[in-house]
Amino acid sequence: MSFTIAIDGPAAAGKGTISKAVVAHFGFAHLDTGLLYRAVGKRVIDGEDALAAAQGLMAEDLEVDGLRTPAVAQAASRVAVETDVRTALVDFQRAFAARAGGAVLDGRDIGTVICPEADVKLFVTASPEVRAERRYRELSEAGHNTDFATVLADVKARDERDQGRAVAPLIPAEDAVVIDTSHMSIADAVAAAIGAVQARR
């Protein structure tokens, strides 16, 4: 039987951490849909056409190195405004959502566009400053040479593009449970997410 959990929210709000914890708790499969757009964005940086990259995307493409860089994140956010690119990625995501045994998909439009019938919808958010601080720490720890002001500007630019685009903009689904992690510990945010899922099971 399928059971779909949609986890949406802006960059660096804690979706990845919460998704992994929910998956570990319930034994579901996880798809980080940002990786689809990152894989397409990376191919565009490498000179490929965005639509051709999206149409030819395979599961192995999500495993390649170098998808987590700020440059690829910006490229992903740029290809993500293209309607035909988004359309080319729909079937892959819906097939994943329908798999037996339960699935967690995290992204921007899972609860609104990809899986409007999801069993549980979470919208995980936090202030731009808190998200930039987390992303800055992550990037510094991974050895990237950057500064807080640049990361904050990147976060805000990506928010603007993700929220302002005409197709599938980042907005909470009407029936989403909103979790604002700005002043929450990871443990509390995870507990809130697991509690919301348990309430619908």
- For the chain, the first-to-last Cα distance in angstroms comes to 13
Residue 171 identity: I
Q: Measuring CA to CA, which residue among 200, 11, 34 is closest to residue 114?
A: 34
Least gap, CB of 144 to ligand DC (angstroms)? 15
Q: Closer to ligand DC at the Cβ: 23 or 110?
A: 110
Bridge partners of residue 106, in order along the sequence = 7, 32
Least gap, CB of 77 to ligand DC (angstroms)? 3
The length of the chain, given as a count of residues = 201
Separation of alpha carbons 101 and 72, rounded Å: 32
Q: Closer to ligand DC at the Cβ: 30 or 38?
A: 38
Number of H helices, E strands in the chain: 9, 5
Q: Measuring CA to CA, which residue among 37, 39, 16, 19 is closest to residue 29?
A: 19
Q: Closer to ligand DC at the Cβ: 79 or 195?
A: 79
Least gap, CB of 193 to ligand DC (angstroms)? 16
Q: Closer to ligand DC at the Cβ: 1 or 81?
A: 81
- Positions touching ligand DC (CB under 6 A) are 11, 33-34, 37-38, 73, 76-77, 80, 107-110, 158, 162
Q: Closer to ligand DC at the Cβ: 85 or 190?
A: 85
Q: Closer to ligand DC at the Cβ: 90 or 186?
A: 90
Least gap, CB of 81 to ligand DC (angstroms)? 8
Residue 55 main-chain phi, psi, to 5 deg: -70, -30
Least gap, CB of 109 to ligand DC (angstroms)? 5
Separation of alpha carbons 86 and 135, rounded Å: 25
Least gap, CB of 110 to ligand DC (angstroms)? 6
* CB count in 10 Å sphere of residue 113: 18
| Strand 120-125 versus strand 4-8 pairing type | parallel
